[in-house]
């Protein structure tokens, strides 16, 4: 079973700053298999990035994804007030989906 680790656990930043979130897989995964979601309190998760680097419909271009192999990154170029949330990476393989533990981005 592939395990996803996310770091840091919490990222404290100010609006306008750049956020860099990491997701590491316990073994090599296909880039197409890595997705990112955003979740705000009391809401369902929202798809941000699929296939490691493709923005989902309606997602602003300040969000970008990159990476391959075991190491993947979600970058928010300039944090807007609505971007403070929890972010999860997720992978799939052998009919199984797995989520990382999440990174909380909060206001410094």
Partner 1 sequence: QVQLVQSGAEVKKPGASVKVSCKTSGYSFTGGYYIHWVRQAPGQGLEWMGWVSPKTGGTHYAENFQGRVTMTRDTSTSTVYMEVSRLRSEDTAVYYCAREESVDTTLMLDFWGQGTLVTVSS
**Cα 80 to Cα 17: distance, rounded to the nearest angstrom:** 9
Does residue number 46 form part of the binding site for partner 1 (CB under 8 A)? yes
CB 83 to partner 1: min, Å: 19
Which phi-psi region, left, alpha or beta, contains residue 107 (left: φ > 0; alpha: ψ -120 to 50)?
A: beta
Does residue number 28 form part of the binding site for partner 1 (CB under 8 A)? no
Residues sharing a CB contact under 8 Å with residue 79, sequence separation 6 or more, in sequence order: 13, 14, 15, 16, 17, 18, 19, 105
* Residue choice 50, 63, 72, 84 for contact with partner 1 (CB under 8 A): 50
CB 57 to partner 1: min, Å: 8
Q: Which residues bind partner 1 (CB under 8 A)?
A: 1, 32-33, 35, 37, 39, 44-47, 50-51, 54, 56, 88, 90, 92, 95-102
């Amino acid at each position: 079973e592939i395990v996803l680790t996310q770091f840091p656990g919490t990222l404290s930043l100010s609006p306008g700053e750049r956020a860099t979130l990491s997701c590491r897989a316990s073994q090599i995964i296909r880039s197409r298999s890595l997705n990112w979601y955003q979740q705000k309190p009391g809401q369902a998760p929202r798809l941000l990035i699929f296939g490691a680097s493709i923005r989902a419909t309606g997602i602003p271009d300040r969000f970008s994804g990159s990476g391959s192999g075991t190491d993947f990154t979600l970058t928010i170029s300039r944090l807007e007030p609505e971007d403070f949330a929890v972010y999860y990476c997720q992978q799939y393989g052998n009919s199984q989906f797995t989520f990382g533990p999440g990174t909380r981005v909060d206001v410094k």
